[in-house]
Structure 1
Amino acid sequence: MSYLNDVLLGIIEGITEFLPISSTGHLLLAEHWLGARSDTYNIVIQAGAILAVTLIYWQRIVGLFLNWRDPENRDYLLKLTIAFGITAVLGLVVKKLGFELPETVTPIAWALVLGGFWILGAEALAARLPDSTRITLRVAIAVGLAQIVAGIFPGTSRSGATIFAAMLLGTSNRAAATEFAFLVGIPTMYAASGYELLKQVKDGVGQEDWTGLGIAFAVSTVTAFIAVKWLLGFIRTHRFTSFAIYRIAFGAVLLALAQAGVVN
């Protein structure tokens, strides 16, 4: 691939990884036009997006650990640990069972469409709930389970599944639900990326254009930083409705392309 393709893939990954629109569907379509990528390539550019979110929340993360004696911080860390633990344990079980959908366009397109309607319905239900920033045990468990669902069904969107699981089960405040979902996602995605990368090293990493991969990683990091910063400001005054509409439209386009045989 040319370095321009690396830039484009880095931009797509950075924009879509943490917005509730699913990176998988966008990257599959990009792969169709720009060429297939290795598993190592996928892991590395995703790591760029994770690094960006880590940088955004680094003060919050450091504050939680340095002030762990504070009851509120200690409780928050416990809930993060519970959510991550559920995802880690069940994620390994799911991996061992090999239970996941193939990453082909049609099931991902349906996941995009159904997820869009899910967001619309969830927003309507959440609007009826009293505003709350509290992270309960029920929310922590739901977020952990939502990450598993998103991992099994490509196109679901990890961020969309976890944010709305939190909102519907008690943390109705969008900013608080998003922060918890993203903070849980940081160790989860680092662990998943590390696990997959170790598998690649064990099986033997193929020849890579490390310069191109480095470009894609850097672009993904910068783009994700900008996208997440924008999202955190956007949700303070807006609902997720626009993302739902986009998902439904994009999913419908993918279904039409698959039906026409343009993509598979």
Structure 2
Amino acid sequence: MTGPWALLLQVAEPAELSKQMSVFQAAMLGIVQGLTEFLPISSTAHLKVVPVALGWGDPGVAFTAVIQLGSIAAILWYFWDDLTQVTVKMVQAAKRSDYASPDFRVGLGIFLGTLPIVICGLLIKALVPDFDNSPLRNSSTIAQMSIIMALLLAGAEWLGKRKRNFNDLDLRDGVGMGFAQALSLIPGVSRSGSTLTAGLFLGLERAAAARFSFLLGIPAITLAGLVELKNMFDAGTSSVGWLPLIVGTLVSAIASYISIDWLLRFLKQRSTWVFVWYRLAFGVAILAAIATGRMQNI
């Protein structure tokens, strides 16, 4: 077997991340983060599986969340005009009591849609303090969730009516996609994948669902990155190092911007089937590697 799947199926010795992550490793993980954060294929899954498959070990939740700040910088840059318009017009609509305003609905939808992932995240922190080492983060769970979400995305492609555009968004979309976003706390689900799938089931056009998915993700990704950045400050950076962390974040920002622009253009003309097949292949390859002993289930 040749190509990327051959790399995944190569023998990966069990290992923890080295005491000092190299700049090269950080840059590579920044590319992985940036290219997969906004594509419906799960950045968390790839950030866990790719370094494990390469024998680098698991970079951990903290590193993963911090380099997401690069992704949030990219999305703020890309959607700055949209965010400014929604914020200003939402305030203006509230002053006029014009609650039917499209911008007010989008803004309120983002707020309400953020609550489920915040509440679930706090519950996980409180009830599962060692979530970083939880079975929910092992490679087999990631593979299974990748396959399940591929099937759900396929169902959304088949059943979604795709008759409503971005201006037709309402609170139902915000709440529905918000609950779907909360599922992304399980590695392998994919925040963008779960919200895009929910949007298609709710009858949104592909590009409209992706655009709202990006806007909805801004608070969640920002909060996760800031919380873990604080934790890393408190714990120190001996396991990563500041230079690799900075490099990984900058590379993540550039790759994220490219992936956002590409996906929006892609979904205006094409379906999500390429991501369905990719997720199926990704999940099956991981399970095959684990079953044959070529990859550790960590």
Alignment of 1:101-120 (within 5 A): 101-120=135-154
Q: What is the identity, as a one-letter code, of the residue corresponding to 2:196?
A: I
Gaps of 5+ in 2: 1-20, 94-100
**SS of the residue 1:235 aligns to:** helix
How far apart are residue 132 of structure 1 and its match?
4.1
**SS of the residue 2:268 aligns to:** coil
Cα pair distance change 1:154/1:262, threshold 3 Å: same
C-alpha distance in structure 2 between counterparts of 1:78 and 1:231, whole Å: 25
The normalised TM-score by structure 1 is 0.91
Matched, 1:225 2:257: yes
C-alpha distance in structure 1 between counterparts of 2:73 and 2:135, whole Å: 27
The 8 Å contact of residues 152 and 197 in structure 2, kept in 1 or not, is answered as: no
The normalised TM-score by structure 2 is 0.81
How far apart are residue 117 of structure 1 and its match?
1.4
How far apart are residue 232 of structure 1 and its match?
0.6
C-alpha distance in structure 2 between counterparts of 1:50 and 1:118, whole Å: 26
Cα pair distance change 1:229/1:129, threshold 3 Å: closer
Alignment of 1:31-50 (within 5 A): 31-32=51-52, 33=54, 35-36=56-57, 37-50=59-72
Q: What is the identity, as a one-letter code, of the residue corresponding to 1:25?
A: A
Query: Residue by residue, what CA displacement relative to the aligned partner does 1:173-208 show, whole Å, maximum 9, x if unpaired?
Result: 112111111111001111122222333334x22414
How far apart are residue 129 of structure 1 and its match?
5.1
Q: What is the identity, as a one-letter code, of the residue corresponding to 1:76?
A: V
Gaps of 5+ in 1: none
C-alpha distance in structure 1 between counterparts of 2:27 and 2:258, whole Å: 15
How large is the Cα RMSD of the aligned pairs?
1.9
Cα pair distance change 1:175/1:169, threshold 3 Å: same
The 8 Å contact of residues 101 and 154 in structure 1, kept in 2 or not, is answered as: no
C-alpha distance in structure 1 between counterparts of 2:40 and 2:177, whole Å: 14
- In the other structure, the counterpart of 1:14 is 34
Query: Residue by residue, what CA displacement relative to the aligned partner does 1:38-70 show, whole Å, maximum 9, x if unpaired?
Result: 544222212111211111111100111222324
Aligned residues: 260
- In the other structure, the counterpart of 2:108 is 78
